[in-house]
Structure 1
Amino acid sequence: MITVRRPLWHEPRPADAPPVGRRDWLLVGVFAVAVAVESIVRPGLAWRPLVAVLGLALVPALLWRRGRPLVAALIGWSVAGLLSILQLTTHGGDLGLYSMMAILILLYSLVRWGSGREIVAGTVFVAVVVTLGMYASSAGGADIFGGSVLVLLIVALAAVFRYRADLWQRQRREIRNQERVALARELHDIVAHHVSAIAVQAQAGRVVAGVQPEKAVEVLATIEAEASRTLTEMRSMVRVLREEEAVAYSPQRGVADLPALARADTELNIQVSLGDSLTRLARPVDAALYRLAQEALTNAVRHARNATHIGIDVRQAGAVVRLRVTDDGRIEPGPVPEPGFGLLGMAERTQLLGGSLTAGPGSEGGWVVEAVLPVRART
């Protein structure tokens, strides 16, 4: 797939900016305490009350740094510029606080969360303030070089994290599209099966219409029921099939094929348990359960450490059907790893059908993948 990158000026803000949370309030609290303590105990600091007030003006900027990155950067770096101007005009000595280095966080947030226009405007303003600050402090060559490198490193770090997040979002969208294509193919085949059945019943109706009119009525009722099911499943079809790809009219595998799927792997003990009331599943749901179990089984075989047993259990409870795939592999201590693309694809498939999926360590060890789907596909 060819991706066309838009110019920086037209780059929108990232859509995944997190809201203000507990860590942000903790950062603000630590910063406020640091400003207050430093403005009191630091020797040789001129204009202490004013410097403290200007330092505390960064508190709202730190909270706004993701939601309004340009405003936050302008506030923070304007404070730094104002202190440089005061130092130049009053010759009042040292007016800087070490805690004011927090404005680098605002620069990072500007590049990480801002739009292209905000990044261009904000970085130009930051460059002016940095130049003014170096001039006001009569910085030497080494200080100018070090400060410039530090600012450029902050910008580069933010750009790298922005690019990585954008790449991750693109990969997730690609997985979503692939799952929609696969599901649309399955639904297309299902509708083709229904239409074929309707055609056969219509042909039979024509044959018996003149001889047994009562049989023709039964055939028409069958055609009506089959057409209703077809329309219901067509409403849930995902219309993302690529026109150049041929459609294979082959029977779709479902829950009844899971025992054969388990026998395909002879190295592990794979046990399949199916409920007794699984005959009323919609065909898209039936096919999705098979695909989900197949993907979960593949993940367990590949990634479960020292696993000897894998269980696949499908049970229907009222209007939902539950798939549970477990293994007895060894779980490494530490945080739960981020979901891979296989799990993301499984989650997307369940969401398309109106269901949900969870995956993580089991209470008794091993890994558990559980999907809950409606018996009738979402229309």
Structure 2
Amino acid sequence: MATNALRSLWAEPRPARPSDRRPRDWALVAVLICWSVLEAALREDMAPLPLLLVAVLAVVAPLPWRRTHPLVVSAVAFGTVTVVDLVRVLTGSQGTLPSSVAATLLITYALFRWGSGREAASGLGVILLWLAITCVAETGSVAEMVAGYAFFLFAAALGAAIRYRTKIRVRDIDQAKARERELLARELHDTVAHHVSGIAIQAQAGRAVAASHPERAIEALAVIEDAATRTLTELRAIVGVLRSAQDTEFAPRPSVAEVERFATEGRTRPRVEVRLSGELDDLSPAVGAAIYRLAQESVTNARRHARHATRVTVAVTGDTDQVRLTVDDDGSAAGGRAPAGYGLVGMRERAALLGGTFHAGPAAARGWRVEAVLPRTGAPR
């Protein structure tokens, strides 16, 4: 497990879209250089001034590129200060500029914030080598050495923490967008697709009887007009919700009582019969809307795919704990049904989100049965 974790860290890619050079980066460079020159002029216990100025320029000047080229900047900066500290060890000189130390802390942070796993590991090796040499050059106490290591390890840990916090936030945003897309797709399929399917069926029927029974063709046109009006109304409601800046749900929500709208007269084939029984009052709005959508999609599927069907029966029964929906048709099983599409997927998801069960398949005797059982109050969110 540890080996796999190390391999995963080693293969970690760079974060996407690192920030490029900004005006404040150049302002930071200017401030650090001025600080270094002022301190070098005021202090006397310093290493040779030209050597320190070279070190400051090597550390501070690459700062604007620390996000886009973190390993190169780290190699240049820490490689230079390592050489400077080696010279200090050989010559016995003391003193460093705090401005260069501040810049190296920023570079360490950027290496673990913006570098890949390979870059971070390689840069860490250079940093640890420099820390070992600078501890010898400074000839400080053990506590000072530990504090030096702690500062740079803290900068590295802070960069890694912010990096992964941002990564998790981006992942959460992507997941939220995916859930919203699924919800929108399910609503569009269950509303618009239902009415459009009805329009297509009525148009086909009207075309078939237009020559022999013009009056029935006119009835079909009336049904098409009504379905088109409902489709436009629901589309406007969905678009209104999407354009709204407030956190709101799709509204208005249909209820169980509106399932009776699917019932048709005997002259329409297949005839749809609706039966509501039991305790259907005080249902959760989400459960009522789900029963309506499940019944709607089931009736649409029966009209489209049930060959030679003459009757579709929709039954909704409620008791103290749950509500049950069954939709049966007497269509022919010859040739099977159409393969499972987005409709069945959306129905199954809708039932699962509310803590219910869903099943669709051939009935025992003839035709096709859809059955869903939902708790009255829905699943806890």
Report the TM-score, using the length of structure 2 for normalisation. Answer: 0.56
Q: Is the 8 A contact 2:60 2:100 kept in 1?
A: no
1:23 CA drift (Å): 2.2
Q: Is the 8 A contact 2:56 2:100 kept in 1?
A: yes
Q: Is the 8 A contact 1:72 1:106 kept in 2?
A: yes
Q: Is the 8 A contact 1:28 1:62 kept in 2?
A: yes
Residue 104 (structure 2) aligns with: 103
Q: Is the 8 A contact 2:47 2:88 kept in 1?
A: no
Q: Is the 8 A contact 2:59 2:78 kept in 1?
A: no
Distance 1:99 1:191, change over 3 A: same
Q: Is the 8 A contact 1:112 1:162 kept in 2?
A: yes
Partner SS for 1:106: helix
1:35 CA drift (Å): 1.7
The aligned amino acid for 1:86 is: V
1:148 CA drift (Å): 1.7
Map 1:21-40; keep pairs closer than 5 Å: 21-40=22-41
- 2:149 is the alignment partner of 1:198: no
- Bigger RCO (CA 8 Å, 6+ sep): 1
Residue 288 (structure 1) aligns with: 239
Separation in structure 1 between the aligned mates of residue 61 and residue 145 of structure 2, nearest angstrom: 29
- 2:42 is the alignment partner of 1:41: yes
Partner SS for 1:209: coil
The aligned amino acid for 1:15 is: A
Residue 134 (structure 1) aligns with: 135
Residue 264 (structure 1) aligns with: none
1:105 CA drift (Å): 0.6
Q: Is the 8 A contact 1:83 1:96 kept in 2?
A: no
Residue 163 (structure 1) aligns with: 164
1:203 CA drift (Å): 1.2
Separation in structure 2 between the aligned mates of residue 19 and residue 284 of structure 1, nearest angstrom: 43
The aligned amino acid for 1:9 is: W
1:144 CA drift (Å): 1.6
Separation in structure 2 between the aligned mates of residue 149 and residue 82 of structure 1, nearest angstrom: 22
The aligned amino acid for 2:240 is: L
RMSD: 3.3
Q: Is the 8 A contact 1:55 1:79 kept in 2?
A: no
1:155 CA drift (Å): 1.6
Residue 209 (structure 1) aligns with: 211
Q: Is the 8 A contact 1:9 1:117 kept in 2?
A: yes
The aligned amino acid for 1:135 is: V
Q: Percent identity?
A: 29
1:211 CA drift (Å): 4.6
Stretch moving more, 42-51 or 113-122: 42-51
Residue 309 (structure 2) aligns with: none
1:201 CA drift (Å): 1.6
1:138 CA drift (Å): 2.4
Map 1:1-379; keep pairs closer than 5 Å: 7-91=8-92, 93-101=93-101, 102-189=103-190, 190-212=192-214, 284=235, 286-290=237-241, 293=244, 295-296=246-247
Separation in structure 1 between the aligned mates of residue 236 and residue 163 of structure 2, nearest angstrom: 37
Separation in structure 2 between the aligned mates of residue 108 and residue 197 of structure 1, nearest angstrom: 62
Unaligned runs of 5+ in 2: 250-381
Deviations 1:131-188 (A, max 9, x none): 1111222232112211122222112222221121111111111111111111211232
1:87 CA drift (Å): 0.8
The aligned amino acid for 1:90 is: T
Separation in structure 2 between the aligned mates of residue 209 and residue 46 of structure 1, nearest angstrom: 105
Partner SS for 1:57: helix
1:46 CA drift (Å): 2.8
Partner SS for 1:99: helix
1:121 CA drift (Å): 0.7
Q: Is the 8 A contact 1:83 1:95 kept in 2?
A: no
Separation in structure 2 between the aligned mates of residue 157 and residue 294 of structure 1, nearest angstrom: 35
Stretch moving more, 144-153 or 97-106: 144-153
1:284 CA drift (Å): 4.8
Separation in structure 2 between the aligned mates of residue 123 and residue 99 of structure 1, nearest angstrom: 21
Partner SS for 1:7: helix
Deviations 1:316-365 (A, max 9, x none): xxxxxxxxxxxxxxxxxxxxxxxxxxxxxxxxxxxxxxxxxxxxxxxxxx
Q: Is the 8 A contact 1:47 1:95 kept in 2?
A: no
Deviations 1:91-114 (A, max 9, x none): 2x1252111111011000001111
1:212 CA drift (Å): 4.7
* Number of matched pairs: 239
Distance 1:176 1:294, change over 3 A: same
Separation in structure 2 between the aligned mates of residue 199 and residue 127 of structure 1, nearest angstrom: 74
Instruction: Find the structure with the greater CA-based Rg.
Output: 2
Partner SS for 2:40: helix
